[in-house]
Structure 1
Amino acid sequence: MVLMKRTSYYWNVLVLLVLLIKQGISDDLTEAPPPIVMWHGMGDTCCFPFSLGTVTKMLKSKLGESLYVKSLKIGESIITDYESGFFVHPNKQVEEVCRQLSNDPKLGNGYNAIGFSQGGQFLRAVAQRCPVPPMLNLITLGGQHQGVFGLPNCPSLSQKSCESFRRMLNVAAYTNWMQNFLVQATYWHDPLNEQKYVQSSSFLADINNERSINQTYIENLMKLKRFVMVKFTKDTIVQPLQSQWFEFYEPNQDKVILPLNESSIYIEDKLGLKAMMDANKLIFLESEGNHLQFTDEWFTENIIPILQP
């Protein structure tokens, strides 16, 4: 009788150990989602609770409260971060972000990146220039990958006023002073004078390999698992809105949009986009709304699966 009790006791202990070991193995096999790095757009900051703060909460609610989300801040304060969106050259911002990422031990195994508006092309520059730590997936929401040639909400003004403002920008945007002073001038893209744009753009023409081919940019961009571009179909901020899908006007006019696969940057594969398309690494998504307007349901359906392990 005593022997049976001892046998039963040891058997129960053994079963418990097996269950604990099994649970431990199961926990190890449950892979946590990679960290997420976000970069805000013009007129925003890293830490406004009603903008990227809301996105951070949504990401944690969908992917787990332990998810590490790094919302990039340029400078020492929210004020300097806000001002950087207008007055700190993108090259300097990208350089600072690369230092931040390389010094963050939580990102050592890689991270997913989400760029909002101009933060989209800035994060693409990070992917091209700073491969360590590795960027796994790049998601750009309303990014201006081929630049802009129009004023935000200009349709609310008269056509004559819009054209007058645009002509002034065409004259001033490519001056050394404006290129160094105003962030938006560094991705102003005049399709009526492509040569001037290529020669004078101090940021966009470089990261798009339009001035010369930087093979490192191509190799680093192609390391991405996926490059996701989200276009807002009723966008009144980004003009033309097709820039969000890496499309732009045909050269020497500003009416007809040239599809990506008919553009020189794609046909000549200046940036590796054709190779990425062939490898199914390019994803084009739409959201029915104005600039950066999307619902929780849309985000959950379209973006969350890309961020999961």
Structure 2
Amino acid sequence: MSKWLVILFSIKYILADPTPIVLWHGMGDTCCVDFSLGSFKIFLEKEIPGVYVLSLQIGNSTIEDFENGYFMHPNKQIQHVCKLLANDPKLSDGFNAIGFSQGAQFLRGLVQRCGHKLPAIKSLISLGGQHQGVYGLPHCGALQHASCDYVRKMLNYAAYYSWVQESLVQATYWHDPLDEDVYKKQSQFLADINNEREINKTYIENLNRLNKLVLVKFESDSIVQPRETEWFGFYAPGQAKVLQSLEQSDLYVQDRLGLKKMEESGKLVFLSTPGDHLQFPQDWFVEKILQPYLV
């Protein structure tokens, strides 16, 4: 009898639909056009036949989606996406999620804030996410025009003004190591999801429900400063030269997000790849991410 149960279970597993995948793009990108995440969606559908891939569009058009990557507060974006995913019947049995650049920390915020309201989020893949924030914006990737200069100037001089926090997405994960107290008090997004002000146990519980949190760092990243933030590292407090790893930070030592527990249980995965921001070979992605965590 047990032999037949094993056979039936194996057949059911083989015939089961692939786990759906949710994508959240980064700054200067959009959900669906060919030169942005549209092509990556097609790539995933080719590599995993039958998979449902939802590339998140924040707004009523790709133009709005592009603009909202700069000007729609992450808290509002996460609230919107939480409702969207909860009402998608194709995700009812759970899904994997891939975040690109700032989309990675937004997905983490989604997991922490409303993971208990959603179907099971199995693996969260962070591609170049800025989990300890950024301190510097050398250039804006896909966007090379006046808006880029506007973003730089506002962050350098007024990141923690309340009206800047409310109107400029990148200000909400600007992390000034020279003034940690102001950052913790005034950051409207990152300081909250990193439990910098107080410990939100729901954030810890929801994050630890993940099967895997995969953090990918780009070794020659010229956009994210410092690139160590992609592994939860950052500048040691009080200066902007000496870096510290996740394991050296209060976030880890005090286990303010449960990351220490996740690492000890094998849920926290660190990967790196040569190349600039979000530049990776398809075969590397298939071997290191798709096969172990998405198939």
TM above 0.5, yes or no, is: yes
- The amino acid across from 2:109 in the alignment is A
Counterpart position of 1:56: 41
- The amino acid across from 2:196 in the alignment is E
Counterpart position of 1:71: 55
Identify which of 208, 225, 228 aligns with 2:214.
Answer: 228
Q: Offset at 1:63?
A: 1.3
- The amino acid across from 1:181 in the alignment is S
1:170–1:190 Cα contact (<8 Å) kept: no
Asked if 1:124 corresponds to 2:108, the answer is yes
- The amino acid across from 1:261 in the alignment is E
Deviations 1:175-196 (A, max 9, x none): 0110001000000000000000
Counterpart position of 1:171: 157
Gaps of 5+ in 2: 1-6, 141-150
- The amino acid across from 2:269 in the alignment is I
TM-score normalised according to structure 2 size? 0.90
Counterpart position of 1:47: 32
- The amino acid across from 2:193 in the alignment is I
Counterpart position of 1:180: 166
Asked if 1:296 corresponds to 2:264, the answer is no
> What is the DSSP-based 3-state SS (H/G/I as helix, E as strand, rest coil) of the residue aligned with 1:235?
coil
Q: Offset at 1:217?
A: 0.1
TM-score normalised according to structure 1 size? 0.86
> What is the DSSP-based 3-state SS (H/G/I as helix, E as strand, rest coil) of the residue aligned with 2:220?
coil
1:33–1:307 Cα contact (<8 Å) kept: no
> What is the DSSP-based 3-state SS (H/G/I as helix, E as strand, rest coil) of the residue aligned with 1:236?
coil
- The amino acid across from 2:26 in the alignment is G
CA distance in 2, matches of 1:99, 1:168: 31
Identify which of 77, 83, 95 aligns with 1:99.
Answer: 83
Q: Offset at 1:166?
A: 7.2
Q: CA RMSD in A?
A: 1.9
Correspondence 1:136-151 to 2 at 5 A: 136-151=122-137
Q: Offset at 1:168?
A: 6.4
1:117–1:144 Cα contact (<8 Å) kept: yes
Identify which of 256, 268, 285 aligns with 2:254.
Answer: 268
> What is the DSSP-based 3-state SS (H/G/I as helix, E as strand, rest coil) of the residue aligned with 2:30?
coil
Q: Offset at 1:76?
A: 1.0
CA distance in 1, matches of 2:278, 2:45: 20
Structure 1 residues 25 and 178, CA gap change in structure 2 (3 angstroms): closer
> What is the DSSP-based 3-state SS (H/G/I as helix, E as strand, rest coil) of the residue aligned with 2:46?
helix
CA distance in 2, matches of 1:117, 1:212: 26
CA distance in 2, matches of 1:152, 1:99: 34
CA distance in 2, matches of 1:122, 1:134: 17
Question: How many residues align structurally?
Answer: 277
- The amino acid across from 1:150 in the alignment is G
Deviations 1:123-153 (A, max 9, x none): 0011101121221100010000000000134
Structure 1 residues 106 and 204, CA gap change in structure 2 (3 angstroms): same
- The amino acid across from 1:304 in the alignment is L
Gaps of 5+ in 1: 1-22, 155-164
- The amino acid across from 1:88 in the alignment is M
CA distance in 2, matches of 1:130, 1:121: 14
Q: Which moved more, 1:48-57 or 1:165-174?
A: 165-174
Identify which of 141, 154, 176 aligns with 1:190.
Answer: 176
1:86–1:182 Cα contact (<8 Å) kept: yes
Identify which of 240, 246, 249 aligns with 1:254.
Answer: 240
2:154–2:164 Cα contact (<8 Å) kept: no
CA distance in 1, matches of 2:9, 2:87: 31
- The amino acid across from 2:46 in the alignment is S
Identity rate, percent: 56
Counterpart position of 1:10: none
Q: Offset at 1:171?
A: 3.4
1:98–1:130 Cα contact (<8 Å) kept: yes
Q: Offset at 1:259?
A: 1.1
Which structure would you say has the larger Rg? 1
Counterpart position of 1:36: 21
- The amino acid across from 2:247 in the alignment is N
Q: Offset at 1:48?
A: 1.4
